[in-house]
Homo-oligomer: A and B are copies of this chain.
Amino acid sequence: MSVATVSRALSRPELLREETRDRVMSIVDRLGYRPNLLARGLRRGHTRSILLVVPNLSPFFLEIFAGAEEVARQADFALLLGNSNGDPEREEACFDQVVSGRADGIILLTGLVPTAYAPGKRPLPPLVTVLERLPGRSVPVIRTDHRVGAAEATRHLIELGHRQIAHIAGSKHAPSTAHRLAGYRDALESAGLALSQDLIYPGDFTMKSGAAGVERLLSLGEPPTAVLCGNDEMAFGAIRMLHNLGLAVPRDISIVGFDDQNMAAFYNPPLTTVYIPRHELGRRAARELIEQLEGRDVAHEVILPTRLIVRESTAPPARRKPRAGRRRSA
């Protein structure tokens, strides 16, 4: 029996006589034979695998990964994970994976393309971005409207009666940061509330920065009665710090997060936050990329809705001004 026959039994069984096919398969089973994917990929010119590039390994991105993996698996694609860790060099290495033939396309969660792939230099690999539109590029994007989500969350606070509403913003590098800030401003403006630069603290998405942010905001002459945080982590950090300062959430101050991580519902108190359909974001991204790889036309932009989830970290403002009480011993 020739190698061609074995190859056909595995790849295009319909071309073989049933008897031949069975004979091959039984031997394959017995030997535990698995075709060499490198050779196959080399010959076929593609590997049926896609690379998802994240800027870090936070649970937020990993859930998008999980969604993408689900769709990829169904379509018989392998999903690889590339962690750029914010390093442009590593990001470029991820893109090179496609040039090197290890993957057929990229799902990009970092919001930026390596400079080596700037327009006019190397051509982009098959690409879909998630969360962030690529400026000046016509690359399909699956995203949510951060601005609308942030505005809705801010409006929730306004409707509760808050007037002094602060914002702890995310990392400057993330384009979503600007959009969430814009939504916060939109809501304040439509309510006729004054914007104050003092009420905006530049965080970096870490719990630590959330804690630092709220401490800083509290030191203001006119401290806020509510804070919209750029993500859940910073909200957790903020709440923790408030408790540490002897302040209770939401009694003394209301806190809103962004993302609705799994932990949000189980935090103490459960966090009011903006739900982002991470899983679906991943699913759609994988679907679009696979369509693209298979030569079909794809949507240029998909916008998935966010949703405000009201839990127990928000309430009407207290009568008296929130002031740091005795700092807890520990």
Q: Is the CB of A122 within 8 A of B32?
A: yes
List the B side residues contacting A16 at CB < 8 Å.
Answer: none
Q: Does A193 contact B (CB under 8 A)?
A: no
Contacts of A121 in B (CB 8 A): 32
Q: Given B35, B42, B240, B266, which contacts A100 in the complex, CB threshold below 8 Å? A: B35
A101 beta carbon closer than 8 Å to chain B: yes
Q: Cβ of A99: which chain B residues have Cβ within 8 Å of it?
A: 32, 34
On chain B, the residues within 8 Å of A63 by CB distance are 57
The reply to whether the CB of A263 lies closer than 8 angstroms to some CB of chain B is: yes
A41 to B330, CA, bound (A): 56
B266 touches A236 (CB 8 A): yes
Least distance between A252 CB and chain B CB atoms (Å)? 14
Chain B: minimal CB distance from A9 (Å): 16
A38 surroundings in chain B (CB, below 8 A) = 38-39, 41-42, 47, 100-102
Do residues A116 and B263 form an inter-chain contact, with CB atoms below 8 A? no
The SS class assigned to the A binding surface is helix
Docked-complex contact A69 and B83, CB < 8 angstroms: yes
A270 touches B (CB below 8 Å) = yes
CA distance A266 to B233 in the complex (A): 9
Chain B positions within 8 Å of A207 at CB level? 262-263, 266
Alpha-carbon distance A65/B32, docked complex (angstroms): 29
CB of A256 to closest CB in B, whole Å: 16
A85 to chain B, nearest CB (A): 9
Q: How far is the CB of A269 from chain B (nearest CB, A)?
A: 8
Chain B residues, CB < 8 A from A24: none
Query: Is A37 part of the binding interface, using a Cβ–Cβ cutoff of 8 Å?
Result: yes
Assess whether A80 is interfacial by the CB under 8 Å rule.
Answer: yes
Chain A residues 233-259 with CB under 8 Å of chain B are 236-237, 239-240, 243
Pick from B36, B42, B57, B96: contact of A34, CB under 8 Å: B96
> Smallest distance from the beta carbon of A67 to chain B beta carbons, Å?
11
Starting from the known contacts A57-B63, A240-B266, 14 additional A-B residue pairs (CB-CB under 8 Å) come to A32-B116, A35-B100, A37-B97, A37-B101, A38-B41, A39-B42, A57-B59, A62-B62, A80-B81, A211-B266, A236-B263, A239-B268, A240-B267, A243-B269
List 29 A-B residue pairs with CB atoms under 8 Å apart, sorted by A's residue number: A32-B116, A34-B99, A35-B100, A36-B100, A36-B101, A37-B97, A37-B100, A37-B102, A38-B38, A38-B41, A38-B47, A38-B100, A38-B101, A39-B42, A39-B101, A59-B62, A66-B83, A69-B83, A80-B80, A81-B81, A207-B263, A237-B266, A239-B268, A240-B267, A240-B270, A267-B267, A268-B268, A268-B269, A311-B330
Please give the residue numbers on chain A whose beta carbons come within 8 Å of chain B beta carbons, in ascending order. 32, 34-39, 41-42, 47, 57, 59, 62-63, 65-66, 69, 80-81, 83, 96-97, 99-102, 116, 121-122, 207, 211, 236-237, 239-240, 243, 262-263, 266-270, 311-312, 330
